[in-house]
Amino acid sequence: MSDVDIRAVLREELGNIAPEIDMSSVDPSADLREALDIDSMDFLNFVTAIHHRLGINIPEIDYPKLMTLDGAVSYLEAKLA
């Protein structure tokens, strides 16, 4: 799966959590919790969705690596490689 595809999946799943936000306007290096106003429950739902769609079980200890869109893309690329 390419960088573009992963990014599209992440944008889609984040869009499900924060539907009123235009994902194309979100800075890929911004802290997602602040940019999208999401809390721990939202983030857990995001991680759960990634697990279901990409088969990647992200442990809690790795959550900080997914705090930005760019960070999440790099993390998942490495996991899928």
Per-residue mark of binding to other proteins, 42-61 (x: CB under 8 A): --xx-xx-xxx----xxxxx
Nearer to other proteins, 23 or 47 (CB): 47
Examine residue 19 and tell whether it contacts other proteins (CB under 8 A). Answer: yes
Specify the amino acid at residue 4.
Answer: V
Please give the Cα distance from 28 to 9 (Å, whole number). 14
Examine residue 22 and tell whether it contacts other proteins (CB under 8 A). Answer: no
User: What are 6's two structure tokens?
Assistant: 């992963």
Examine residue 74 and tell whether it contacts other proteins (CB under 8 A). Answer: no
Examine residue 79 and tell whether it contacts other proteins (CB under 8 A). Answer: no
Runs of H (alpha helix) within the chain: 3-17, 32-35, 40-54, 69-80
